[in-house]
Chain A
Amino acid sequence: MHTLDTSDLSKLIACPSCDALYSEVRPGHGRRAVCERCHTVLISPRRNAGLQVIALSTAAVILVIGATIFPFLQINVAGMSNSATVLDAAMAFAGGPLLALSLAVTALIVLLPLIRLLLILYVLTPIVFDRPPARRAKRAFRMAEQLKPWSMAEIFALGCAVSLIKVADLARIEFGPAFWMFLGLVVIIVVQDAFICRWSVWKSLEERRRP
């Protein structure tokens, strides 16, 4: 009944979520191959996806750095004012037993997103410009994938909005430039994530070996 040809393993694909086995068929640009059992997206090629992902990642790197430097919220109460940058927020826990939390917050909202974006750029740029893959590109892309759940810049952006509601009756709050950068970052990260076809990246890393 199963007419799956298992003579050439490189022509097969196993769903990472449910282990269903398929023979590999590249869908047309803009279409997606989906596991028919658990509906995990297996292949989703897009025309010029590589170039778009590079552009989006570069923009995101700039936004992360900008969002770290500029204040994201400013508070005004009874003639007093205070503004906070991301680093201020991370350092809110500094001192005492909560220091570990400071480091974790810095990592989750700044360092890990930044590292992940740089790794993606490092891996994709040579592929897109038809160069041999970068040194240790596989390891770099594997790391970028592992970091995905832990880079939480977009969650921080929503946290700003929630904070605003919480102190609304206590004080007047204004958005700083970094807030808008974070908002842009949310959009860019979502779009970038949808554009990357992981399978295509692995495939090209496999096909184009370093000389």
Chain B
Amino acid sequence: MVGMEVAGRTSAPLTARQAGLVGCQRCARVWPMGTVRCGRCGSRLVSRDRNSLQRVWAWWIAGVICYIPANLYPMLRTRTLFQSQEDTIIAGAIELFTHGAPFVAIIVLIASVAIPLAKFAAIAVLALGVRQGSRIPAGRRHIVYEIVEYIGRWSMIDVFVVAILSSLVQLNVVASINPGPASLAFALSVIFTMLSAQSFDSRMIWDHIEPDQKGPAA
């Protein structure tokens, strides 16, 4: 790995914005401030997306709202010869506990409950940090942002498992599994949360720190 230390700098890097330029977020090409479209890749250029936070919060609220029915309604309807039952996410985990599979139960709880809630909290912390400033260092907030971006899509695994089980376990009277309404709510919640994270302009994390933190710039 080589750092991009090339211009004889020793202190906090100059940003494209401070240099009166606008950087393309798709291809990293630099243009004079005010350029509308990137001449290299054709993406729309914005130095800082002012509406970014509004979109982040709009998707965030939609995601939280969908997460509530995702927990109240059953995810799966299981029917076997002797019984039929409907399981919400948490009820399913509790049953795994009582059936002597605490390890699997913990994994389910982490994947379907802890991670979604942590994502909501992390996005809120990032968005509030931009508006009000944050005591958490920018570098650490950026890592949080990358983790949220990376983990977001993996939450869809719950929906895929419902789809797989429902298509596979269709054995007439012996056993059948069908999807419950929570699966749709959960899928929407994951998608909205992904859109919320994607709307966030991560360059804003770094904006407030340059002037005072590292000596005189330029």
Give the residue of B4, B9, B27, B171 whose beta carbon is less than 8 angstroms from that of A202.
B27
Kindly state the separation between the CA atoms of A2 and B217 in the bound complex, as whole angstroms: 8
Kindly state the separation between the CA atoms of A89 and B159 in the bound complex, as whole angstroms: 11
The count of residues in chain B whose C-beta lies closer than 8 Å to any C-beta of chain A is 77
Q: How far is the CB of B160 from chain A (nearest CB, A)?
A: 3
Given A42-B4, A163-B161, A138:B168 Cβ within 8 A: no
Kindly state the separation between the CA atoms of A211 and B95 in the bound complex, as whole angstroms: 66
Q: Does A187 contact B (CB under 8 A)?
A: no
Query: B218 contacts A199, CB within 8 Å?
Result: no
Kindly state the separation between the CA atoms of A118 and B202 in the bound complex, as whole angstroms: 30
Query: A170 contacts B169, CB within 8 Å?
Result: yes
Nearest opposing residue in chain A for B153, CB measure: A149
The count of residues in chain A whose C-beta lies closer than 8 Å to any C-beta of chain B is 81
The dominant DSSP class at the B interface is mixed
Residues of A within 8 A of B16 (CB): 12, 14, 19-21
Kindly state the separation between the CA atoms of A19 and B24 in the bound complex, as whole angstroms: 9
Q: Which of B161-218 contact A (CB under 8 A)?
A: 161-172, 174-175, 178-179, 181, 183-184, 187, 191, 194, 198, 202-203, 205-206, 216-218
Give the residue of B2, B43, B167 whose beta carbon is less than 8 angstroms from that of A88.
B167
Query: Which stretch (B29-37, B61-69, B121-129) binds chain A?
Result: B29-37
Q: Which of A154-175 contact B (CB under 8 A)?
A: 155-156, 158-160, 162-163, 165-167, 169-171, 173
Residues of B within 8 A of A3 (CB): 7-9
Query: B218 contacts A1, CB within 8 Å?
Result: yes
Query: B167 contacts A18, CB within 8 Å?
Result: no
Q: Does A91 contact B (CB under 8 A)?
A: yes
Residues on B facing A (Cβ under 8 Å):
1-19, 21, 23-32, 40-43, 80, 99, 104, 139, 142, 149, 152-154, 156-157, 159-172, 174-175, 178-179, 181, 183-184, 187, 191, 194, 198, 202-203, 205-206, 216-218
Residues on A facing B (Cβ under 8 Å):
1-6, 9-10, 12-23, 25, 27, 31-38, 42, 72-73, 75, 77-78, 80, 82-84, 88-93, 97-98, 100-101, 104-105, 108-109, 138-139, 141-142, 145, 149-150, 152, 155-156, 158-160, 162-163, 165-167, 169-171, 173, 198-199, 202, 205-206
